[in-house]
Amino acid sequence: MLYGYAGRILRVNLGDGSKEVTDTPEEMAREFIGSRGFGSKILWDELDADVKPFDRDNIIVMAAGPLSGVLLPSSGKISFHTKSPATGGYADSNMGGHICAELKQAGYDAVVIEGRAAEPSYLYLEDDEVEVRPAGDLWGMGCFEGEEYLKEELGEDAQIALIGPAGENKVKYACIGHDFGRQAGRCGVGAVMGDKNLKAVAVRGSRTIPLKDPEAVYEKGKAMYQEVFDNPGFLEWTPEGTAGVTDWINEIGSFPTKNFWTGYFEDYDKINGRAILEQILVTHKGCFSCPIPCGKYSTGTVGDEDFVVEGPEYETIAMMGGNLMLDSIEKVAYVNKVADDLGLDTISGGNVIAFAIECFEKGLLDEEMVGRTLEWGNVDDVAYVLDLIARREGIGDLLAEGVRYASRQIGGGSQQFAIETKGLEWSGYESRWAPSQMLAYATADVGAHHNRAWGITYDIAVGRDALEGKAEKIVELQHLRPLFDALGICRFPWVEIDFDLQHYEEIFKIVTGMDFSWEDLLRASERIWNLNRAFNMKHIPGFGREDDSVPERFFEEDVPTGPAEGHRLPRADFEKLLDRYYELRGWDVNGRPTPETLAELGLDFVIEELDLQ
């Protein structure tokens, strides 16, 4: 018997409403841990190379990990996996809130969603009850109204993940919303739900999560909380949450501003964490079991509209604040609310709109094409374009495809400032003077996302121009950070308040009974990393080194203003870093894992399927 795991995997076919419950395979648990690892393995096993993201045969896996829902700090992270409409490759996107613990308590480690419903539907799970229900009036609703509607129908304690109009209209960066403000934002996971006619997943669970040694877990869990309380970071970091990093990122000249034109925003102190606390905060809002709530529930008025929103957190401040040059926290919170309600990722959304404004500025888009003029720092322009995108109306239909596709259509040199990697828009760290972070963006499995390896602190610590040791650091972080995603927990206690990693090794043992060292767990994380690489090789024709690229702007233009002024990473240095990175990973110069590397990681089935011998 597995401990820590709920022990079952649910498979639902939306087309015919059939369902199947199987035991969670012990071998998969040992080799791929859970959550991110389960999603990766299931996608690999079940998706043929010719399945397109919007084919009926694409699947969505929502998965929890062995530590999800367990009594330890911040154990409520769920991940969604699918073939990405943004990149055509591997996608995962995770979020906190309460639905992960709820899913475990309903008795499932993962739900595999197949097929396409004939009519708009939602999936209801309550312990053994599984039902595909008609969405009815729910279809078309924004995320807030939709969640409220479902909670009224199902009860306040039902946990709901849902899409907004952007997901329904298959915007390539549509997100999945939950708990009035949490999002699985990236890679277009919400668009695949929309394609499947699946408006929402509602979960309610009553079961006890089986633990190998409940008494030991209770003692260890309590000790972990106590250590958080005693940690100075607890009181320093919690009040502002992720927004607290704004000042520092701006100070080091890495705050994306004006479509990553520069890394410094003059008005940063009007949109930082302090501004949230002083001007718009309603309450601190946390995820399941989390003692350091980063959610800041806020309120404001823009024009004649009063609104509430969870946020903005750092990424939204960066991508919709600095990058769009909005100069008040209320305005950033407002566009945050508009995007969340429409079900659009604020990272890609902010990036795409910045791209559109720069196109407008350069005469590549005009008033006739857009329906109005566009300028930096105009909150109404942003809300207007977000709405067009979510509804795929006018220029919104093109912008809904993301900056890679849009720049190819618009032409006129716009590809140089289309800030994406692998087709996924960059998130909130301008990296021309941060080689580690640049490499992290280039090599992240899902496309340009910071959370696989947050290397920028390392750049600052060891010297920003240095290259030595940086590929090593990124490889290390790409195993360590995503390991939290495989365990199904949040990394913030470690990242933000420097919580001792040793705790996780210890609690993993007493929760699961599996005698894994931290090194064993990191090894599993490396296995997952390589499997995702192989997924991209299988699904993206010719996938390799060229896909680990960064936008031309970063090689062609020095940072023009601020603390990083005059800096950029020479292309030759970037290639050097990439060479070293591949070498460390045991990949060839084209970025493809060698058969030896795969065999060493126990991924022989990959060698066979990709015919690499």
Binding site for another protein (CB under 8 A): 69-71, 98, 101, 105, 144, 147-148, 156, 179-181, 205-209, 211, 214-215, 217-218, 221-222, 225-226, 228-230, 234-236, 239, 282-293, 295, 297, 299, 308
Dig out the tokens for 363 from the structure: 């005469």
Q: Are 80 and 64 in contact (CB under 8 A)?
A: no
Nearer to another protein, 102 or 327 (CB): 102
Shortest Å distance, C-beta 228 to another protein: 7
Which C-beta is closer to another protein: that of 4 or that of 551? 4
d(CA 96, CA 92): 14
Q: How far is the CB of 157 from another protein (least distance, A)?
A: 9
How many Cβ atoms are within 10 Å of 270's Cβ, its own excluded?
18
Compute the least distance from the CB of residue 169 to another protein, in Å: 22
Provide, rounded to whole angstroms, the least separation between the CB of residue 40 and another protein: 26
CB of 535 to another protein, least distance (A): 33
Report, in Å, the least distance between residue 151 CB and another protein.
Answer: 9
CB of 410 to another protein, least distance (A): 37
Number of C-beta neighbours around residue 50 at 10 A: 8
Query: Which is closer to another protein, CB of 202 or CB of 403?
Result: 202
Please state whether beta strands 110-114 and 8-13 pair in parallel, antiparallel, or not at all (unpaired). Answer: parallel
Which DSSP state fits 363? T
Per-residue tokens: 325: 């040059």
For another protein, the closer of residues 223 and 495 by Cβ is 223
Structure tokens at 20: 């199947």
Structure tokens belonging to residue 498: 């420097």
Identity of the residue, 72 or 388, whose beta carbon is nearer to another protein in the bound complex: 72
| Nearer CB in complex with another protein: 324/507 | 507
3-state secondary structure labels for all residues of 369-429: HHCCCCCCCCHHHHHHHHHHHHHCCCCHHHHCCCHHHHHHHHCCCHHHHCCEECCEECCCC
Helix (H) or strand (E) holding 182: strand 182-184
Residues in Cβ contact with 187 at an 8 Å cutoff, skipping those fewer than 6 apart: 82, 84, 85, 86, 87, 91, 92, 93, 173, 424, 446, 447
> Least separation, in Å, of the C-beta of 388 and another protein?
24
Assign 499 to helix, strand or coil: coil
Residues 96, 93: Cα–Cα separation, whole Å: 11
> Judged by CB, which is closer to another protein: 156, or 515?
156
The per-residue b/e assignment along 131-162, b for 16 or more CB within 10 angstroms, e otherwise, is: ebbebeebbebbbbebbebbbeebeeebbbbb
Tokens 């209770």, residue?
218
| DSSP codes, 43-111 | HHHH--TT--TTSTT--EEEE--TTTTSSSTT---EEEEEE-TTTSSEEEEEE-SSHHHHHHHTT-SEE
Distance of CA 607 to the CA centre of its chain: 29
Q: Which is nearer to another protein, 209 or 598 (CB)?
A: 209
State which residue, 181 or 428, has the beta carbon closest to another protein. Answer: 181
Tokens of 401: 């495809």
**Nearest-approach distance from CB 507 to another protein, in angstroms:** 12
Least distance from another protein to the Cβ atom of residue 205, Å: 8
Q: Which residue lies nearer to another protein by CB, 159 or 436?
A: 159
d(CA 372, CA 375): 10
Shortest Cβ distance from residue 282 to another protein (Å)? 5
**Token code pair at residue 290:** 């989390």
Instruction: Quote the least distance from Cβ 218 to another protein, whole Å.
Output: 5
| Inter-CA distances, 555 with 361, 414, 417, 609, Å | 22, 15, 11, 37
How far is the C-alpha of 106 from the C-alpha of 63, rounded, in Å? Answer: 13
Return the closest-CA partner of residue 428 out of 332, 532, 338: 332
Least Å from the CB of residue 487 to another protein: 15
70 vs 419, beta carbon nearer another protein = 70
CB of 379 to another protein, least distance (A): 20
Closest CA to 315 of 401, 400, 246, 381: 246
For residue 129, the cross-strand partners are: 126
Q: Toward another protein, which CB reaches closer, 218 or 375?
A: 218
Q: Which is nearer to another protein, 157 or 519 (CB)?
A: 157
Residue 297 phi, psi dihedral angles, 5° rounding: -85, 130
Residue that has been written with the tokens 């809904």 in this structure: 400
Q: Is the Cβ of residue 234 or residue 405 nearer to another protein in the bound state?
A: 234
